Amino acid sequence: MTAAPQPTRPRLPEWLRIKLPTSDSFARTRSLLDELKLHTVCESAKCPNHWECWSKGTATFMIAGDHCTRACKFCAVSTAKPMPLEIDEPARVAEATYRMKLKHVVITAVARDDLADGGAEHFRQTIERVRELNPGIVIEVLVPDFLDKDDSIHTVLAANPHIYNHNLETVRRLTPSVRHRATYDRSLTVLGKVKKWRGETIHTKSGIMLGLGETEPEVDQAMRDLRAAGCDILTLGQYLQPTLAHLPVVEFVTPEKFAAYKTKAESMGFIHVASGPMVRSSYHADEFQVPSSS
């Protein structure tokens, strides 16, 4: 009997092939993160850009551990019972941002549905410690939905981040098969609350992955829904299958199509749009210049 063929990942198109950098900055970033025992979404989520970002001396810090309580079908972060929060982690993140001389930092976390506040207080402490050690730094948080708990959202907002990022991830139709324990409408509600409560004093941001089988009208509708929720900043990037156990890529979206989505999103009123095959939520996040009054 002939063995069944094993699934394989499709060959990447030319525009998604990465040329690895050769600078010493990558090793220095790796050494610093190891020394301070910090996790990054760059590594845990198998981000294709982490070679470039680390070589430029940047990283997206992932707090509250590297085990997530959810099992989203697109994400490479491990799903397991999380460890207790490390009370000194906020100080270690602050030390890393100081030593890396960051002007813009992105702080994210695994979903911690095991905690009553979803890890919101840990976010608040991390933001405050980073600001204490780095006055003037732009702080962006990429947060889970906190199960739409108002107290948790308020806790993060109390620390006054400049940018509140929560990803919609995909279109409405695909959400049940892509995101575990998350809903399309809940994500929109969270973003809408932040904008309602803080108005122009904060920027809201969200991201959508393309290539999972969505249609152009569905992407257009998702962008309109985000704008209706007051979302200011949008990222659009290509989904890449992190392992064969994850959802397969349905389509490799061309750079030209990403450019067309960018134009359309800007016409809808987004104040900043990053759209391209290699774009991720925090990739080149510092290209958006937060006004000095924010």
pLDDT at 33: 81
Planar angle of CA 53, 170, 225, nearest 5 degrees: 110
pLDDT at 70: 73
**Has residue 251 been placed in a domain?**
yes
**Has residue 90 been placed in a domain?**
yes
**Number of neighbours of residue 225 by Cβ within 10 angstroms:** 20
Given CA atoms 150, 155, 156, 162 in this order, what sign does their dihedral have? positive
- Residues in a beta bridge with 163: 140, 203
**Has residue 252 been placed in a domain?**
yes
**Has residue 14 been placed in a domain?**
no
Q: Which residue has the tokens 């933001």?
A: 127
The Cα–Cα gap between 167 and 273 comes to 14
**Number of neighbours of residue 80 by Cβ within 10 angstroms:** 13
Spans of the chain, pLDDT less than 70 = 1-9, 17-24, 26, 40-59, 67, 71-72, 74-80, 282-289, 291-294
Domain span at 249: 22-287
Q: At what angle do helices 150-157 and 184-198 cross, to 10 degrees?
A: 50
**β-strand 203-210 against 163-165: which pairing, if any?**
parallel
Domain count, the chain: 1
The Cα–Cα gap between 112 and 92 comes to 20
**Has residue 276 been placed in a domain?**
yes
pLDDT at 180: 82
